[in-house]
Amino acid sequence: MSSISKPAAPTENIMGTMKINKLILQLSVPMMISMLVQALYNVVDSIFVARLSENALTAVSLAFSMQTVMVAVGAGTAVGVNALLSKSLGEKDQDMVNKTAVNGIFLALCSAAAFMLAALLLVRPYFAAQTSDPEIARLGEEYTFIVCFFSQGFFMTLMMEKLLASTGKTKYTMLTQLAGAVTNIILDPIFIFGYMGEMFSGVRGAAIATVIGQFVGAGLGVYLNFKVNHEIHLDFSHFRPHLPTIRRIYQVGAPSIAMQCVGSVMTFGLNKILMGFTATAVAVFGVYFKLQSFIFMPLFGMNSGIVPIIGYNYGARRADRVVSTIKWGVLYAEIIMGTGFLLFQFAPNTLLSLFAANETMLAIGVPALRTISWSFLLAGMCIIFGSSFQALGQGMNSLYTSLSRQIVVLLPVAFLLSRFGDVTLVWLAFPIAELASTAMSVLFMRRTYKNIILPLGNAEAPAHRPD
């Protein structure tokens, strides 16, 4: 690639000047819309697969924890790039901005190569460890192999989106995600139901539609970064991996990767526990994850807008704006999660019916959605605190909190509750784990405020109200 971008002009970025409330909405709303579309195509994928058979839905559900690892590597690396790039913009260090961007793209391609290898070596033993049903294993292997082996579009899409978000150009990030999501939604029924031939049908077709959508999003993301992202100068003519920059990226990114991989371990472990009851319970758990994405994905979209604001103002030593961003973020997060709580409490039957749920699935799924959703009331604040830690270079706090919630508390509690022989009790592990996570998050935030934010110099004056 050759550079056609222009170096940044020496003017103040909007992340250092615009009112925080307006700035969060300006950066986050496009991301939230695009993430909602992402959630929609994930759900549509499973809705169509559910029409094939319950085994097909269970297979795709079992694939989720391996996909989570892929998301963890891609999103964690991108978060590290986002935080370092935003901080460097705040410090007016253009050289570091450019090094961070080109090394981030290099790391995205390396990640894709690693998952091509994983597709060849790990997919079959992964499913053998989860199920003894040959049909479920075969369907899961087909789906997961394609998604992992052709993951180049996925990793590049994430990186291109974060480069745009880091400079405040989230409306273009929305375009890349919309392009990929709409492509997937259109292609899903065409491939899944055999209109492109039997070889490309079923769960294999669902995976192919997903991969094509990711490549479309990646292509548009590359184009937009070279065309409109003038604050970043992408020049690969003399590129060499820069280890100090890569190290700084993973100082924030590695805890984020580990944190999300913890989620994969949790999903794998809980699937094993649920399979001890029935495969339908595993399908319900998979459906829950698809449905909750409608609640969490917009929140993650808001995070994508908040992280560069905090990172930029941390680099610019504007503690008042850091504090204000966190406050507004928590407020909006609780509104989003409160809405999700009400939806899961009062319309679980409607939500499950989207996946052709039979009476057995409804009997397990309705109490599952109602019980798990109690954790939503605390999760919003924890998620905002976690992304704030990452933006402030305190990513290990997020990792410790995630470990506490999903490994130290959730899995052991779920296992103990499963010993009573009632699958309904297993879902109580989610709100119990969220209570532990909230306690840790608050303690870490108090320490971060005292040791990181206050020393920046001006947190006290405006801290009583958001600007």
pLDDT tens digits for range 234-267: 888 888 898 999 999 998 788 778 777 887 888 8
Q: Which helix (H) or strand (E) holds 384?
A: helix 376-391
Q: What is the longest distance spanned by two Cα atoms in the chain?
A: 66
Angle at CA of residue 183, ends 299 and 307, nearest 5° = 25
- pLDDT at residue 7, rounded to an integer: 45
| 88 contacts 103 by C-beta, under 8 angstroms | no
Region for 232 from its dihedrals, namely left if φ exceeds 0, alpha if ψ lies in -120 to 50, beta otherwise: beta
| 393 contacts 83 by C-beta, under 8 angstroms | yes
The candidate with the shortest Cα–Cα distance to 173, out of 161, 157, 158, is: 161
Residues sharing a CB contact under 8 Å with residue 117, sequence separation 6 or more, in sequence order: none
The candidate with the shortest Cα–Cα distance to 330, out of 378, 396, 398, 263, is: 378
Task: Please list, residue by residue across 81-105, b when 16 or more beta carbons sit within 10 angstroms of its beta carbon and e when fewer do.
Answer: bbbbbbbbbbeeebebbbbbbbbbb
The candidate with the shortest Cα–Cα distance to 61, out of 35, 39, 42, 74, is: 42
Reported as a single tens digit per residue, the pLDDT across 70-109 is: 988 998 898 889 888 888 887 888 889 889 999 999 999 9
Structure tokens, 232? 């970043």
Locate tokens 């192919």: which residue?
208
| 196 contacts 190 by C-beta, under 8 angstroms | yes
Range 457-462, long-range pairs (CB < 8 A, 24+ positions): 457/317, 457/319, 458/317, 458/318, 458/319, 458/320, 459/319, 459/320, 459/322, 459/323, 461/320, 462/320, 462/323, 462/324
What is the number of other CB atoms lying within 10 angstroms of the CB of residue 443? 12
- pLDDT at residue 376, rounded to an integer: 95
Classify residue 461 by burial, with Cβ atoms within 10 Å: 0-12, 13-18, 19+: exposed
| 124 contacts 141 by C-beta, under 8 angstroms | yes
Residue stretches of the chain with pLDDT short of 50: 1-10, 459-467
Structure tokens, 338? 């409160």
- pLDDT at residue 11, rounded to an integer: 52
C-alpha distances (whole Å) from 208 to each of 74, 126, 135, 289, 417 are 19, 20, 19, 21, 39
